[in-house]
Amino acid sequence: MQALGIDIGGTGIKGAPVETNTGKLTSERYRLLTPDPSTPKKIAATVAEVVRHFDWRGPVGCGFPAVVKHGVVHTAANVSDKWIGADAEALLSQATQCPVTMVNDADAAGLAEMRFGAGRDQDGIVLVITLGTGIGTAVFVSGHLLPNTEMGHIEVEGKDAEEWAAEIVRKQQKLSWEQWGKQVDKYLRTMERLIWPDLIIVGGGASKKHGKFFPYFTIQTPVVPAEMLNEAGIVGAALATEPR
């Protein structure tokens, strides 16, 4: 089975065809810039361009940085708020002329990590956290996803956790790895107290450089870096097309 996986992010929209039983990309990924403003109309046109690039006619899965329930978008922390209430699956299916499934981006990345990456064969409670422009979370209970957990927005030190521990905060505030690592640790410890996971998988751009900030963690729960790196979003979006 193949599906086209598309990862819609704050800066880029990336896609590739994926073999869903192995998690392998069958061609090189194609990336376009996320349009600004990131309105439904403009993003739909960009997604359609990715579909056309691969001359794709089959199922398409999209990961999107918001709550997506039954194909409808309900939040918009880092995208145009014109998305709120939009029936994204209907809009994108029409724009691409393909059947489109849309899910939250962190849920997509989590699905990929659990099937093919750092969460393979992991039982119990697994928390997947993506640190990027925002903070995304995906919670798995014995391999089953609890979708749309928005725990990147819990309060830490009186702030939305995202404004404290997202990767963009490190870059914008020019924090050292140590400073940022300690802030991420504070966030992880808050999560630990709330859901008592058995394993935490940290993904997002910085996961490649885990050696620079994991050493500052004092959390008790085992923490491992994501393994699928920047392919997790694409592979997981493709997996989301499988019947649930």
Question: Per rule CB under 6 A, is residue 4 in the interface with ligand BGC?
Answer: no
Task: Give the chain as a DSSP string.
Answer: -EEEEEEE-SSEEEEEEEETTTTEESS--EEEEPPSS--HHHHHHHHHHHHHHTT--S-EEEEESS-EETTEE---SSS-GGGTT-BHHHHHHHHHTS-EEEEEHHHHHHHHHHHHSTTTT--SEEEEEEESSSEEEEEEETTEEETT--GGGSEETTEETHHHHSHHHHHHTT--HHHHHHHHHHHHHHHHHHH--SEEEEESGGGGGHHHHGGG---SS-EEE-SSGGGHHHHHHHHTTS--
**Which of 23, 59, 152, 181 is close enough to bind ligand BGC by CB under 6 A?**
152
Nearer of residues 106 and 223 to ligand BGC, judged by Cβ? 106
CB closer to ligand BGC, 43 vs 66:
66
Contact 126, 201 (CB under 8 A): yes
Number of residues that bind ligand BGC (CB under 6 A): 17
CB of 147 to ligand BGC, least distance (A): 11
Does 130 sit near ligand BGC (CB under 6 A)? yes
Give the footprint of ligand BGC on residues 210-239 (CB under 6 A).
none
150 binds ligand BGC (CB under 6 A): yes
Determine the residue with CB nearest ligand BGC: 134
Nearer to ligand BGC, 67 or 98 (CB): 67
Q: Which parts of 60-119 interact with ligand BGC (CB under 6 A)?
A: 65-67, 75, 77-78, 104-106
Task: Lay out the site mask for ligand BGC across 9-48 (x = CB under 6 A, - = otherwise).
Answer: ----------------------------------------
Question: What residues line the site for ligand BGC (CB under 6 A)?
Answer: 65-67, 75, 77-78, 104-106, 130, 132, 134-136, 150, 152, 162
